[in-house]
Amino acid sequence: MLKLRIIPLLLIDGPNLVKGSGFDNWRRVGTLIPALNVHNSRDVDELLLVDAGASRNGRPFNLNILRQARGRCFVPLAVGGGLSTINEASAAIESGADKVVIGSALSSSMSLLTEVADRFGAQAAVAALDVRRTSDGWQMFTHGGSRLVEGSVVERARLAEEAGAGEIVINSIDRDGMMNGFDLEVLTAVVDQVTVPVVASGGAGTVADCVHLFESTGVSAAAAGSLFQFTEVTPAEIREALEVRGHPVRKTLSHP
């Protein structure tokens, strides 16, 4: 059985860490390198590094930042933001990313997922669906939540899997930065329709939120930013809470 993962999410703008809510109102809350050092010391399962403004501002992911991060990061690293071509995705992997997270490029075609999966394997191709609840149900938005993509989120998730995605991240725009719990309904709907791992993002505020997420939806991983930035909660605490309840998690390494 696959072990459940807890993934710190780091949003950056250049070398700065940023936070916001609803994919907006970003503010600087620190710098990247100290945050990486903290997460390395905490023995996290994986890190997700996202350039918050790349797609919205029409620029690619900053590879210099990625190389700096890779030099400090000793766990699997997934990166996203502004990756719109196979050359950009390849450059990110060659610069140290283990996975590339593709979001806005999926607005017109899923072909980039196929290209990444064919070249590097499905495990390196991650689809990111930024979702918002509308009068027509849950729908996907791209470019920082500014552009609507036709079709339901479930349909887009199925297409992403068919295109070669080895993993799907569901980012709740409504819950982003709110720390009021995950959108369990949309996550359950997606998990029920795909066979690849689903990562939940947006809404984590407590250890209990994360435990309830896994027990209610069947997701494979939880990504959280504000929870680890603004509270004393650590990924190890969440893993321990899950283990007590009989869920498979990676053992936390002891540190001197």
Contact (CB, 8 A) for 221 and 186:
no
User: DSSP assignment of 47-68, as one string?
Assistant: EEEEETTHHHHT----HHHHHH
Q: Is 127 helix (H, G, I), strand (E, B) or coil?
A: strand
Angle between helix 184-191 and 207-217 (nearest 10): 40
**DSSP-assigned states of every residue in 147-171:** EEEEEEHHHHHHHHHHHT-SEEEEE
50 vs 14, 17, 101, CA distance in Å?
Answer: 11, 10, 8
Distance CA 118, CA 105 (A): 17
Neighbours of 196 (CB within 10 A): 19
Instruction: Catalogue the long-range contacts made by 16-22 (C-beta closer than 8 Å, 24 or more residues apart).
Output: 17/229, 18/52, 19/177, 19/225, 19/226, 19/229, 20/52, 20/176, 20/177, 21/176, 21/177, 21/178, 22/145, 22/173, 22/174, 22/176, 22/177, 22/178
Catalytic residues, which ones?
130
Cα radius of gyration rounded to whole Å, the chain:
17
The token pair that represents 24 in the structure block: 């907006």
The residue type at 254: S
